[in-house]
Each structure stands twice: as C-alpha cells, then as structure tokens.
Amino acid sequence: MKRPARRPRSSAPLAPADESRIEALTVAMALAPGVYARNRMFALFKNPAVQRAKSRAAMLRGIVKHLGRACAVTLVLEGTDFVLRYQIPAIRLMRVAELTRVELAALRVMASKASAPCLLPEEGDKALVETALARLLGESGDEARASHDATPPGE
C-alpha cells in the first residue's frame, strides 16, 4: 500500500503575539499535560505551531525526569536563549537543550515541585509562568496576578 505524500509545512514566521501564545501553550502543556488532549482537540493539533508547543512541552517534562539523576549541570545564556547541558553517566547520556526565558522558568518551577536540587527556581520564575499562562486567557500578567491575589483562599 502506497503511503500518501506529506503536505509541506508552512514556513511562514509567526507574529510576535502568536509566538507568545504558543510559548504560553508550551508552558501549559508542560505543567498540565492532560489538559490539551489531542483526541479532544484534533483540529487544534493540526497547526504546526501547536505541534511544536507539544514537542517542547514533552522535552521539558523529560528534562525534569532526568534532573534527579543528572550531574555536571550547566546553564549558560547564549544570545536570547539559555543553553542547558547535563550528563547522566549511568546511562551514558549527555543532553543539550536550548530554552527560552519562559521555558526555563517553567522548567525551574517543575523541577522544584519534583524536588530536583540542581535547578532551583529564581525569584521571578513563578510570576513569569503565571504571566505566560494568563496570555492563554487573553489577559495581561498584572491582571491575572491581581485576580489571583484578590481571590479568597479556598475558592
């Protein structure tokens, strides 16, 4: 049986607003992977940018799993992105990952929840993650924090 030809991916660059929403979607998919299920939102996942967000989120979750056993962890700023390098000698793994500032903040938050001591969160990481998630709702980060702070505990 002959396989159907693949459709070419659109290589049109995303607008900055779209890029920021895709980055926010990456964070949401990394923090809560079951929320955006492909089987329920099939049309959404046809978009190449959403597929990239899904892939990046999976990469972040994989890194968190590795960080518990990682050694020689280094984080370097190169241009506008961060480069994370680490090794796991027991399985002869050496990994290099390029991360945006928001992805790094999400990774640090996830690593702290997983009790990975090698990548501790910095002061603004949680706020940066909340701001990114607020972009999915269409509100600014300040509005999201204000509504979060105004909500009484237990609601």
pLDDT, tens only, 70-121: 999 999 999 999 999 999 999 999 999 999 999 999 999 999 999 888 888 9
> Bridge-partner residues for 83, per DSSP?
76, 98
Domain presence at residue 152: no
Residue 95: per-residue pLDDT: 95
Residue 116: per-residue pLDDT: 87
Domain presence at residue 57: yes
Q: Which helix (H) or strand (E) holds 6?
A: none
User: Residue 111, class by beta-carbon neighbours within 10 Å (0-12 exposed, 13-18 middle, 19+ buried)?
Assistant: buried
Long-range pairs of 118-126 with CB within 8 A, sequence gap ≥ 24: 118/67, 118/70, 118/73, 118/86, 119/67, 119/73, 119/75, 119/84
| Total domains present in the chain | 1
Residue 33: per-residue pLDDT: 86
Residue 42: per-residue pLDDT: 60
Q: Is the pLDDT of residue 54 over 80?
A: yes
Domain presence at residue 148: no
Domain presence at residue 151: no
Secondary structure of residue 129 in the 3-state scheme: helix
Domain presence at residue 85: yes
Instruction: Please choose, from the candidates 103, 97, 96, 92, the residue with its C-alpha nearest in 3D space to the C-alpha of residue 69.
Output: 92
Q: Which helix (H) or strand (E) holds 133?
A: helix 125-137
Domain boundaries, position 60: 16-139
Domain presence at residue 154: no
Choice between 147 and 61, residue whose per-residue pLDDT is larger: 61
Domain presence at residue 122: yes
Domain presence at residue 9: no
> Bridge-partner residues for 75, per DSSP?
84
Please provide the DSSP assignment of 50-103 as one string: HHHHHHHHHHHHHHHHHHTT-EEEEEEEETTEEEEEEEEGGGTEEEEEEE-HHH
Q: Is the pLDDT of residue 143 over 50?
A: no
Residue 17: per-residue pLDDT: 59
Helices 48-67 & 101-113, crossing angle to 10 degrees? 40
13-53 tens-digit pLDDT: 556 557 888 899 999 999 988 877 665 566 677 778 888 88
pTM: 0.75
